[in-house]
Amino acid sequence: MRPASRGRVTLADADARVAPHVDLKLLQHPDDLPRLVSGIRIACRLGDKSPVVDYLTGEDWPGADIRTDDQLASVIQERVSLYHHPAGTCRMGSANDPIAVVDSEGNVRGITGLQVVDASITPTIPQGIRIC
C-alpha cells in the first residue's frame, strides 16, 4: 500500500473536455516488486498456521505450486492492478510552495470557497495492517 513508483497525470489536450493522459507506472520502482513478493510470502506463512489454516479450503492465488521469488514476481506482474484509494494527489503546503494545491486547511489556492476534504490531501495512503 506504499509503492515507491510514481505515476503521472498530464493534459492530453488544451480542451478540458478531453480526458487527461494517466500513466500509472505500476512496479516501475525497483523496490516495489520485491516488497510485494515479501508480502505474499508473509501472507502464505500466516495462512499455513493455526487457527487460520483450520478455516481455509484451499489457495486460489498465487497457487500452492507458486513459491519461488521468480514465480511470485511473475504472477504479481500478471495481476498487478490499481488500489482504488487515491491519496496524496492534491499537495498541501505553504503559500511559498509552488506545487501545493491547498493550504493547511484544505482551501484550494486561487479558488475562494472551494476546499478539498478527502484523502487526496493526505500525504500517505492510510492503512490498517500492523504486523508485529
Is 85 a residue of the active site?
yes
Amino acid (one-letter) located at 128: G
The three cell numbers of residue 3 are 509503492
Which residue from 42, 11, 5 is spatially nearest to 25, judged by alpha carbons? 5
Q: Which of 21, 29, 84, 85 is catalytic?
A: 85
Distance from C-alpha of 19 to C-alpha of 47, rounded to nearest angstrom = 42
- Which residues are part of the catalytic machinery? 85
